[in-house]
Amino acid sequence: MKNNINKLVVVAIVVLMTACSQKADSIKATYVSPLPYEKHSCEQLKGEVIRVNKRLAEISGQQADVANKDAVVVGVSVVFWPAILLMALGEDQKAEVGNLKGQYNTLRDVAVKKNCDFAASMK
């Protein structure tokens, strides 16, 4: 009986760990079509890059807070399982982070294609 409880606890911990929010650095970029940007001038592209970077920094900070809180809740829930109910307190921004990273990549690709002077500084 005790062995079954131990197995159940291990399974619960694994499930909890996979339910945690990811840090923004580990979120992959999603595909964003270059079509909306192809008629932009280099100056317009630069403005979009600045806008995307600003929003990405803002959302990445929020995502880091949610991921850190989820990690703490998982740790506490191993000892006190009702703490898992707190995981719903933060909003996961994974989709927006992935989209913003995709926008950045697309803007970089279009800027390189147009030989914009700022494109070389984009990683």
What's the pLDDT tens digit per position in 44-76? 999 999 999 999 988 887 776 665 555 555 555
- Whether the full predicted model's pTM is greater than 0.75, yes or no, is no
Asked if residue 31 lies in contact with residue 101, where contact means CB atoms within 8 angstroms, the answer is no
In eight-state DSSP terms, residue 75 is H
CA distance 42 to 82: 53
